[in-house]
Amino acid sequence: MDMIKFLHMNGGNGDASYSSNSGLQGAGVMKTKRAIEQAISALCHNFPKTLVMADLGCSSGPNTLLVGSIVINAIAKTSLEMGLEPPEVLINLNDLPTNDFNTIFVALQEIKGNSANGTHHQPSCYFTGVPGSYYGRIFPMKSLNFVHSSYSLHWLSQQPQLEEINKGNIYLASTTPESVSKAHFEQFQKDFFSFLRCRSKEIMAGGRMVLTLAGRTTDDPRDEESNYIWRPLAMAIEEMVYEGLVEEAKFDSFNLPWYNASPKEISNLVRAEGSFTIDQLESFDLQWVAWKRKKDDNDASKLNETDDPRVGLYSDVAKAIRAGVEPLVANHFGEAILDDVFTRYEKILKNRRCNKEYEAVISVTVSLTRKM
């Protein structure tokens, strides 16, 4: 299956949209703020007239604006410290062509309204949309100073080619055959290598890149830590197979184009490709309960409700996961199963007895410099 046509998050600003359900990823971007600021500060010390950046896999919603504002503020802060006029900034927003670019362009008017023409230390900002897959070339040679990407690079360019059926699963799990796990890793290797190769051409010498992706800390990608969110979705679809609502062959042929890489796998690939040095590489976890507590604290309508963040937690998690995979599930199984499958998913999440510490998204962030 060619992901370029089918992979995108739910568009718009409605209840089911990625925009309304991407708070966890936003918290992840905030955890990498320091790495982004350090990269921008280093770039500003080379006095560029224009700083050209790209946010790859930007999707649409608050996180797109969050990345832009972290960069703009970091430029303003560094130029103030240096006592210099800030460089102008061009922010290229990239995603697959089916992404809801319109919603971003409308929301961007807010940032532009605040920063058009620049104030004393606020840089002038310009935005463009760049549709296309970042596993290929999307910018001219040596045209970028800074590349950012968050929560996108775990999506593979295609469903891995499997020699065996991943029976009862839609991602890697303890019952997944070795060959299936290997095929996912090999697809990730191929994709991440192409990503680095393309960026090595597009980023100028000394340019920076900060990449954050869903990853893992365990050796084996089939461990529970990595399949915590996907295993219950497989269980929900499998229930529907037993009830005759989904064809077994359809279930057998569905595997998410996804891979949770470990920091070691990432550093090995960066070294093998050879164009970048690693400034920083770390993993951190985003606990769902902490995210839900913060979300409820910010929601005035929840002020008088119980302050137990577990109330409504699984409904919010199910909505967040649905916002990300609904188009893929609908394309493979048809739209008719969507409400049923995600209602079951929520129930399974809620009733599952397993290690609560796995109720988290493990993230890996790597900060890179293009060699001279």
Residues that bind ligand SAH (CB under 6 A): 7-9, 22, 25, 29, 57-59, 63, 94-96, 99, 133-135, 150-152, 155, 157
Closest CA to 275 of 364, 142, 166: 142
Residue nearest to ligand SAH (CB): 57
Our CB check for ligand SAH shows the closer of 25 and 78 to be 25
Our CB check for ligand SAH shows the closer of 207 and 257 to be 257
CA–CA dist 242, 85 (Å, integer): 66
The C-alpha angle 332, 336, 338, rounded to 5 degrees, equals 75
Our CB check for ligand SAH shows the closer of 26 and 87 to be 26
Our CB check for ligand SAH shows the closer of 202 and 238 to be 202
Q: How far apart are CB 74 and ligand SAH at their closest, in Å?
A: 17
Burial of 190 (0-12, 13-18, 19+ CB in 10 A): middle
Our CB check for ligand SAH shows the closer of 76 and 104 to be 104
CA–CA dist 279, 209 (Å, integer): 10
**Do the beta carbons of residue 236 and residue 164 sit within 8 Å?**
no
Q: How far apart are CB 25 and ligand SAH at their closest, in Å?
A: 4
Q: How far apart are CB 362 and ligand SAH at their closest, in Å?
A: 15
Q: How far apart are CB 55 and ligand SAH at their closest, in Å?
A: 7
Q: How far apart are CB 246 and ligand SAH at their closest, in Å?
A: 25
Closest CA to 368 of 39, 11, 21: 39
For residue 124, give the DSSP letter: P
Q: Tokens standing for 258?
A: 């996804």
β-strands 360-370, 203-214 pairing: antiparallel
